[in-house]
Amino acid sequence: MAHEHLTDSCLFCKIIRQVHNKVKGIICKGGTNAPMDFLLCRGEIPSNKIAETDKRGTNVYPLLPVGQLVIPKYHAEFFHQVPEDYLADLLPLAKKVAVAQGFEQYNLLQNNGPMAHQVVKHVHFHIINKPNKDEGLGIVWPQQQVTQDQLKGTLSKIKEKL
């Protein structure tokens, strides 16, 4: 597949184009809702390709034994910037990898923006195993009160723009 939608500067584009085969350590703060730092990887981790789809272009890479990355072969910082045909290809491939891994409980997570825990500025989905309560992804979702009027407002705002 041609790489016309990839850049020369992005780490994930380089990995997809196979001009770089390692992910360097990325340690990030989890924000105020997450009291601990969380770790994507430490040191240099080889970015071996697990699977790919040629037609629309999606790659899967291992990052940790507990998780994989599904990366579209299209350079975009945010999910909403990825064309629909690339998006349609992502989840069926993620399913294959989840099945091959034999995960029983797990999370799919895709982050947009530094506040929302995105580190590498190229859209990617994490497939994260949850083998027990202590490993894998923990989430913190502060409580929020909401009125029916607020909900109606949100709904009509979205419908207007759809």
- The catalytic residues are 124
Under 8 Å CB-to-CB from 16, ≥6 apart: which residues?
3, 6, 59, 71, 73
Interaction between residue 1 and its own copies (CB under 8 A): no
B/e letters for 55-93, b = 16+ CB within 10 Å, e = fewer, are ebbbbbbbbeebbbbbbbbbbbeebeebeeebbebbeeb
| CB 3, min distance to its own copies, A | 22
Token pair in block for residue 111: 């982050």
Site for its own copies in 13-52 (CB under 8 A): 30-42, 45-46, 48, 50-51
**Binding letters toward its own copies, positions 141-160, x by CB under 8 A:** xxxxxx-x-xx-xxx-xxxx
Query: What is the nearest approach in angstroms of its own copies to the Cβ of residue 144?
Result: 6
**Contacts of 81 by beta carbon, 8 Å cutoff, 6+ apart:** 123
Between residues 8 and 158, which has the closer beta carbon with respect to its own copies? 158
| 64 is a contact residue toward its own copies (CB under 8 A) | yes
Residues 116-135 that bind its own copies (CB under 8 A): 116-118, 125, 128, 130, 132-135
Smallest distance from its own copies to CB 8, Å: 26
Tokens linked to 55: 């037609």
